[in-house]
């Protein structure tokens, strides 16, 4: 889905049989993927579905020729599994 200014909504879902394990919604803008909102099924926390799913999201972005993935705040352990780079967050406004 794209609008007139080139923002593409991307959604990723990690499922097993009839169970949704985790979901992530974000957008592609100027060649980057911005991981905007994610959620997970707490029944599967012991298996770290968020961490596993994020790896799949990164692979999915790479297959779409997206080389930069902005994981957004807050910095979390499951995000740090995939990157050790963090930045200080300042006010951000992106008018589309």
pLDDT at 2: 45
Per-residue pLDDT tens listing for the chain (96 residues): 444 477 889 999 999 998 999 999 999 998 999 998 998 899 998 888 888 999 999 999 999 999 999 988 888 888 888 888 888 877 767 666
Provide the strand spans (E) within the chain: 8-16, 19-29, 32-40, 68-70
Res 96: pLDDT: 62
**Domain presence at residue 69:** yes
- pLDDT at residue 94 in the model: 65
Helix (H, G, I), strand (E, B) or coil at 64: coil
Instruction: Say if 88 falls within a structural domain.
Output: no
Q: How far apart are CA 16 and CA 18, in angstroms?
A: 6
Domain count, the chain: 1
Q: How many helices (H) and strands (E) does the chain have?
A: 2, 4
Tell me, what DSSP letter sits at residue 1?
Answer: -
pTM confidence score: 0.76
Quick one: pLDDT at residue 90? 76
Residue at 34 is within a domain: yes
Asked whether residue 75 is domain-assigned, the answer is yes
Structural domain range at position 13: 8-80
Report yes or no on 52 lying in a domain. Answer: yes
CATH code at 64?
3.40.630.30
Q: Has residue 74 been placed in a domain? A: yes
Q: Does the residue 33 lie in any domain?
A: yes
Residue 55 lies in a domain: yes
């Amino acid at each position: 889905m794209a609008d007139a200014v080139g923002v593409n909504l991307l959604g990723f879902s990690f499922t097993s049989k009839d169970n949704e394990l985790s979901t992530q919604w974000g957008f592609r803008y100027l060649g980057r993927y911005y991981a905007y909102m994610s959620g997970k099924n707490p029944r599967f926390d012991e298996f770290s579905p968020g961490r596993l799913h994020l790896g799949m999201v990164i692979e999915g972005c790479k297959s779409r020729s997206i080389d930069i993935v902005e994981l957004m705040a807050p910095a979390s352990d499951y995000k740090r599994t995939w990157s050790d780079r963090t930045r200080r967050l300042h006010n951000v406004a992106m008018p589309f």
